Amino acid sequence: MNILVMNGPNLNMLGMREPDIYGHETLGDIEAQCRQLAAGHGMELDWFQSNLEGELIEKIQQAVGKVDWIIINAAGLTHTSVVLRDALSLFPGEVIEVHLSNVHSRESFRHVSLISAIAKGVIAGFGASSYYMAINAIPNLHSET
């Protein structure tokens, strides 16, 4: 089983960006743990981060036919990007939306996700563990599909 973990704008700044909200772990720290978890489940993991909407869309299109699951933290694009949602809609596999913070306890503009309606599930508010929960859930969710 192949998984693509996608990370949107500003997530490359984790560890230094608002650590009281996003924690002290870097994106590299999270990636290393995700790779270890995926390997433990016998899954292949591709990791991608971009601050550019178009690069995220191209990565989704390239994943068609090669990847079974996309785990995405679209960051601020979650609330604004119709084109990112459309790209995820054309992906024939499953999508899990993740967020480090509990977006529903923050500013009201963060309460709306354009991605949630097309995702298999949403995990938010558990810091880096949101990613780990998504990876650990896939083997069970995959057997249901």
Active centre residues (catalytic): 22, 99
DSSP structural state of residue 116: G
- Tell me the β-bridge partners of 73: 7
How far apart CA 15 and CA 88 sit, in angstroms, is: 28
Smallest CA-to-CA distance from 131 within 100, 93, 88, 85 is with 100
Backbone angles phi, psi at 3, to 5 degrees: -125, 140
CB neighbours of residue 31 within 10 Å: 18
Whether the Cβ atoms of residue 49 and residue 12 lie closer than 8 Å to each other: yes
